[in-house]
Chains A and B, each alone.
Chain A
Amino acid sequence: MTVDAQTAPSLATPKLRLDALSHEFRSRNAAPVLAISNISLEVKRGSFVSLIGQSGCGKSTLFNILAGLLTPSSGRVVLDGADITGRAGLVSYMLQKDLLLPWRTVLDNVIYGLEIQGMDRREARDVAEPLMDRYGLGKFKKHYPSSLSGGMRQRAALLRTLLCNNDVILLDEPFAALDAQTRFRMQEWLLTLWRDFDRTVLFVTHDVDEAVFLSDEICVLSPRPGRIADRFDVPLARPRNREVVTSPEFVSIKQRCLNLLFATEAPSAREGAAA
């Protein structure tokens, strides 16, 4: 990546900085709900950071804020040193559902982000086609999404997210709906893409194994209101393969996550409230 020396943010500045983010939902006939409270986080350029936490820890709220879809009650989102709070389109966001447009072919779905960002459709196709070939979607270019399996649909959605010209991508439980084998293949595939595209990833998951396997760093969120209970690095060497999940280091990191998750569990089960 060659950037002009003047505009290049120094390597010391984090790619993305969350600065004391809090958000309170107010509605007319209910007490205000504090969804997240005072979340601060610095994400290094090119790193893979996972957020884990039980439902109700405000992950969706946090991602909506980062994606600029929601303006926080207080705090700032800083990208490359610039305040982007409440501005959409600068950070890519992939939701749990694949959200492919059913009336577009897979190829035209993959270029959707580029098209929204103003690229000519034909030009965007030229960019996307070789990537689809390379990342296992070549056969499905002309198919409509309804004829694809869940895994293939998620691949298309992920490729669409990566193709946007944004350095930071937010992935909100992208593999939650997939079966275990498919999920594992998708995790490896994601790591390949992450390396190839040199993106900074924020990844939300319920799955501790997934978080440990994928991440450089893990943040454990505690619920109601969501705040960062702890964060730590994952010192496993890359590239990682499946064997790593049975290594003692992996298991001890996993143990640490589980301890934190269960330690922060509210004694009264208030499941099912606003996530």
Chain B
Amino acid sequence: MTEDIAPTKRQTRSLHPLPVGGLKRRSGVVITNEKPWPRAAIWGLQVAIFLAAVAGWEAGAQNGLIDPFFWSSPSRIATAFVIVFNEGTVLYDTWFTFSATVAGFVLGSLLGAVVGLSLWWSINAAAVVRPYIVVFNAVPKIALGPLIILIFGIGIASKIALAIAFTSVITALAAYAGVLAVDDDLVKLTLSLGGRRRDVFFKVVLPSCLPWIASSLHINIGMALAGAIAGEFISSQYGLGKIIMYAGATYDMALIWVGIIILALLATGLYAIVSWGEHKLMKGQVAKTI
């Protein structure tokens, strides 16, 4: 009888899916959340880090911990800035790089959007074109640099062309991903209301692809800048890329830093403008990325 009432240890185990006896009794987990700091504290810290880095760099260069020949120093960079602005063509160089970047960005993104969206019109055309896009996407565009310089010359046209090469595929792929993600039921709705393919394209496909295209833009602004600079590296009379290349060839480290700093400011400014524009394009929709 007793055997029936009190099951053996083995039987108990088979009744429980988990080895309850083997687990330690747990006391539960207290979840801790990091509290956000006040905004002023974040900004203050950011400025402090920057100043500390600059001061440390300068001090290191002064007492020989850092070799200023290779690394330059904040004071040398500041001097170079003054010289470049007073005597050099740096404003024109910045303008050159800026216009090549913006032109390449706009044209490349537009071209990519047109190509990507046009694939909606025919699934067969899309199937034919897709491998070309994939291959062009896979090729490192910088490899096209010498070719493009030879074709378009050493002026701004070749920089714009490179920026287009860098940007267009990205938008094309994003737009095509958007095309594939269009809600079939929205298409069905439009058709059932008596809409034609043109209506479907302009009233459904285009607006629903906008977030996809928009999400490619902030990648593209960096890409367009990279394309323009790459073109200037290879061969150019003007541009921030040309300044950096020239400074490197003459071991003018301070001038390299001047180029990099202007480039960073330019890139940040452009990025901010594009982010604002993206936000405008979203209009009631959520960001989409590939």
Contact = CB atoms under 8 A, between A and B. Distances in A.
A22 B266 CA distance: 65
B98 to A, nearest CB: 32
A145 interface: yes
Interface string B189-201: 1111111000100
Contact of A144 (B188, B193, B284): B284
Interface string B155-197: 0000000000000000000000000000101101111111100
Interface in A51-72: 67-69
B208 interface: yes
B285 interface: yes
Interface string A108-121: 00001101110000
Given A68-B192, A93-B192, A116 B185 contact: no
A103 B285 contact: yes
B185 A99 contact: yes
A22 B14 CA distance: 57
A101 interface: yes
B20 to A, nearest CB: 38
B194 A117 contact: yes
Contacts of A90: 194
Nearest to A117: B194
B26 interface: no
B204 interface: yes
Nearest to A157: B189
Contact of A113 (B183, B193, B207, B283): B193
B203 interface: yes
B278 to A, nearest CB: 14
Interface in A87-104: 88-93, 95, 97, 99, 101-104
In this complex, the interface size class of chain B, counting residues with CB under 8 Å from chain A, is 20 to 34
Interface of A: 67-69, 88-93, 95, 97, 99, 101-104, 112-113, 115-117, 144-146, 164
Contact of B208 (A88, A103, A164): A103
Which of B186, B194, B199, B210 has the largest number of chain A CB atoms within 10 A? B194
Nearest to A146: B284
B194 A116 contact: yes
A102 B186 CA distance: 11
A101 B186 contact: yes
A67 B204 contact: no
A95 B183 CA distance: 13
B207 A69 contact: no
A257 to B, nearest CB: 28
A68 B193 CA distance: 10
25 contacts: A67-B192, A69-B191, A88-B192, A89-B195, A90-B194, A91-B192, A92-B192, A93-B188, A95-B188, A99-B185, A99-B189, A101-B203, A101-B204, A101-B207, A102-B284, A103-B210, A103-B284, A112-B193, A113-B193, A115-B203, A116-B190, A116-B199, A144-B283, A146-B284, A164-B193
